[in-house]
Chain A
Amino acid sequence: MTTLKKAALVGTARLTGMPATGTPVDDLVAGIEGLTPERRVLLSAGMLSIFRRAGYVPSTAASLPAPAPAETLPPCSQGAARALGDVFIDGRLELLPEAFLLLTNAGRRVPFSLLVDCLDLRDPVHREAARPVLGERGVWLAHQRADWGWASARVAHEPDARELTRIWEEGRSDDRLAALGRLRELDATGARDVLSSSWKQEPSEFRLSVLAALAARLSKDDEAFLQTALRDRAGAVRAAAASLLARLPESTFAARAIARADALLDIDKVPPSGMWDRLKATVSRDDPQFTVVARPPERFDPEWDADGISAKPPKGVGERAHWLMQAVALVNPTHWSERANATPFELTRAAWRGEWGAAVSIGWSRAALLHDAKDWIVALWDSWLAADVGADPHAEVIRGELLLQLFEQMPPDTAQERVIALLQDPALAPDLELESMLDRFARPWPDALGTAVLDAIEAAVALGSAAPTVQLSGSIRAAGPALSAGLFDRALALASHDTVRAIITRVAHDFDVFAHQIRLRQRLHQEVAR
């Protein structure tokens, strides 16, 4: 072909004589009369290509790779394989952890035909769930491709301190953050040392994110470094360092913070003054035993700036309230219950009776979240739900955010009680994002929670066009991957409710996804058990 190709590339116009192929094709073409040189090149090339194709000779494989070892687990049934395949095809990856767990518990593995889909998974949660069901074949296959390396070992590879330090020194910022976080778990002091060694060269945004890594295993040893960070150029970094220092009870910073806040809050026990007060207290069950009187600062003390307190309030917040909130937020709230010998429930309610109720409650809420003071978190959630903040637009905005954060950090049992109460009476907090609240619970949900959610959906559906669309949608979306198997039948009956589908198209779509998820999960449960 080469001589022909050359002739065709440069053009026969520049050629003298006919290029020969040195094959029987030459004689064949010569036998055709009246051909132009161009036509002869074309016909020769055509014939030669057909000859080549007919005479194709395979190459010889030098060696074959070692085959995969025999499996130790049986494959899942064909029905289970089809159901799992549909999870991938339909893009319902949120159901994968459950599907893999079912297979793991049944002692089965995924079929060979789904291994590529499994190895291509990106989400670390999905990967860890898949690991036990990949089988010998999956591990063998993972060795063949660099981006499947995560699955080439039976257990996740845990890099040691030296490897983590290398990633910290050479990696990209996401990897560096993750490496520092893991190093902190392995070696708290070592992590702080590598962090402080490059601290000054890091950009301010990165300094802010790495400080968060020190929150884990925080100890008195970190105080000196945090003091450096407290003098950072960036205000956000100073504030983050202040939050960490505030969590070290023996630090001079914490002592300063307590002294500062003590001057701002007076908590007193008020004895019931007479019969009338006592009677009122008993009837309203709101026993005014305590008063919380806030005395927000008149002026900004320049020294506070060094403790991460900002002078300038955000829009819509008064200066004095802003300073008060920040000062209170740095102090562990158990300090107040101990000082006044009162429960968090009594104090949080008393705060709302005072003039600066919202500011104190915001400060306490941030403090409770920062110090993870569980009984305060629950008490504050209740007080925010009961509080009337209508007069203060800033507090109203903040209320929703704080409620969600308090809910996140609430102990699971209490959180379940509180969300069930909300489900039973949606008017309690009509503006809360139910979906994200429900998503905090481990799947599958306890039956009590699942039943409450289905009850709420049923009640909303009964309202027809008056149904609270956002809350209804949120409940439906959260419940699809989370309901326990015992509730599948009831869920499917509910999802086929025609009236509400016809009225609210958005809910109709959510119901379609919901029913799809439940049916897929039902198939997975049945087929794996088979």
Chain B
Amino acid sequence: MALWGECQGSALYQVRVHLPDATVKCSCPSRKFPCKHALALMLIAAGQPELVPAAEPPPWVGEWLAHRVRAIEQREQKPKKASPPDAEAQARRAGQRLERVREGIEALDLWMQDLVRSGLASIEVAGSSPWEGQAARLVDAQASGLAARLRGISGLPRATPDWAGELLADLGRLALLTHAFGCIDDLDAPLRADVRQLVGWSLKEEDVVAAGDLVEDDWLVLGQFVDEDERFRVQRTWLKGIRSDRVAMVLQFAAGTAPFGDTFAPATHFEATLAFWPSAFPLRALVHVRQTVAVAWHDRLPGSDSFAAFLLDAAHALGRQPWLGRLLCVVRDVIPVIGQNERWSLVDRDRAAIPLGGTGTWSLLAISGGHPIDVAGEWDGRALRPLFASAWAERITWSRPAT
């Protein structure tokens, strides 16, 4: 089963399509794959099959097809050669990894203790390479979660006026994590899952679904942030269930400038079943089944009526999972205020104020105009970063007219 044809471009191009696995070959110099000539050929065959008569493949097609068939056969044989899952071998590998992680953590603990013994002030001259070396060792020890945490901390020294306080707090939480890992068997199963994930054991998506924390709800997309690395981008999308009031954070990864797999348009909502990663405070989730397409949300935001109420929820969440970094904060009837030296804050109806961070503050002020609005944002324990998207801006103002 194959399609072929010749196409007059800048030169005469020979186009071949192997239908069973939709592989294509074309003599054009295009770097796009499949090239437009192959796509055009497939479109013609799909839309106007009468234009494509059946024929014996000419040699330039036949040779390539024979090659394709051989390649497919080889690929299909490969898995057969691999040995069937061997429970004993798997257990042995898991044991080996655990041992490596233990060794890595032991080295990390020693290193942190050395830092505290000789004093954080000595880091000022040491620079960042010891941090990078330590993080690399953790990656080798298959404790990538700890490595990422350490890299996050490595930027702190001398970055802010109170860098020493922040550094000590972050190192302290890291030490608490290694301490928890040391007595992981004494922890409840959900927290055990948290600690394992924080250290670096990742779960496959099918394992997340199998773990069984499935929630069916009408999910409202509140917005997203994208963190960019040199090589890949991480997108954090915050969802809130209208009926269950549960919060979900969906992480998506993309290499370079490639698009993210799933699209979540801010200020839309859709019916779906989400699967949550096992945790003492389940937050990370994936969309298991979408029941409806996303439609625009025109109502007010479902959220707290005061910061006091939100902060109480946040305290309960930390009580269950102390390493929680970012939390979704949705508050109604708040006013963005610009203070001295552009120190922004968000003030609720009780006059309680929390710092406002991020880049969307001026737009938030434009939308509020000094009147109460509903705001969704990411709370990191220090400041609220408004979840800002231009589409959101139109709808964020469900403010009542000033009276």
Contacts and interface: CB of A to CB of B under 8 A. Distances in A.
Interface of A: 1, 4-5, 7-14, 32, 36, 38-39, 41-50, 52-56, 58-61, 64-68, 70, 78, 81, 85, 89, 111-113, 115-116, 137, 140-141, 144-145
B126 to A, nearest CB: 13
Contacts, number: 159
A140 B173 contact: no
A9 B164 contact: yes
Nearest 3 CB-CB pairings of A with B: A11-B119, A46-B172, A67-B370
Most buried by A among B307, B367, B394, B401: B394
B371 A68 contact: yes
Interface residues of B, number: 55
A41 to B, nearest CB: 5
A404 B115 CA distance: 73
B164 A46 contact: no
A11 B311 CA distance: 35
Given A9-B120, A42-B175, A54 B318 contact: yes
B347 A10 contact: no
A48 B168 CA distance: 10
Most buried by A among B171, B307, B371, B401: B171
Given A113-B367, A141-B366, A5 B164 contact: yes
B interface secondary structure, majority:
helix
A49 B390 CA distance: 35
Interface of B: 109, 112-114, 116-122, 164-165, 168-176, 179, 307-308, 311, 314-315, 318-319, 322, 335, 337-338, 345, 347, 351-354, 362-363, 365-367, 369-371, 381, 390, 393-394, 397, 401-402
Contacts of B347: 61, 64
Nearest to B318: A54
Nearest to A120: B362
A45 B168 CA distance: 6
Nearest to B170: A49
Most buried by A among B354, B366, B381: B366
A interface secondary structure, majority:
helix
B393 A46 contact: no
Contacts of B165: 1, 5
A60 B363 contact: no
Contact of A45 (B169, B314, B352, B393): B169
Contact of B168 (A1, A53, A55, A113): A1
B397 A112 contact: yes
A12 B118 CA distance: 7
Contact of B176 (A13, A43, A53): A43
B115 to A, nearest CB: 8
A111 B354 CA distance: 27
A68 B368 CA distance: 9
A116 B388 CA distance: 14
B371 A67 contact: yes
Most buried by B among A43, A47, A56, A85: A56
B365 A141 contact: yes
Nearest to A32: B179
Given A60-B353, A111-B394, A137-B366, A8 B337 contact: no
B116 A58 contact: no
16 contacts: A9-B164, A10-B121, A12-B116, A12-B117, A38-B113, A39-B113, A50-B318, A53-B318, A53-B381, A54-B319, A55-B315, A61-B345, A61-B352, A65-B338, A68-B370, A141-B369
A56 B381 contact: yes
Contacts of B119: 8-11, 13-14
Nearest to A59: B353
Given A46-B172, A46-B176, A48-B169, 18 more contacts: A8-B120, A8-B164, A8-B168, A32-B179, A39-B175, A49-B172, A53-B314, A61-B345, A61-B352, A64-B347, A65-B370, A66-B370, A78-B394, A112-B369, A113-B390, A140-B370, A141-B365, A145-B362
B171 A61 contact: no
Contacts of B335: 64
A145 B362 CA distance: 10
B307 to A, nearest CB: 5
A36 B179 CA distance: 13
Given A36-B113, A38-B113, A144-B338, A47 B370 contact: no
B112 A68 contact: no
Nearest to A81: B394
Given A12-B116, A39-B175, A45-B168, A112 B370 contact: no
A471 B308 CA distance: 67
A87 to B, nearest CB: 13
Given A43-B179, A68-B371, A58 B315 contact: no
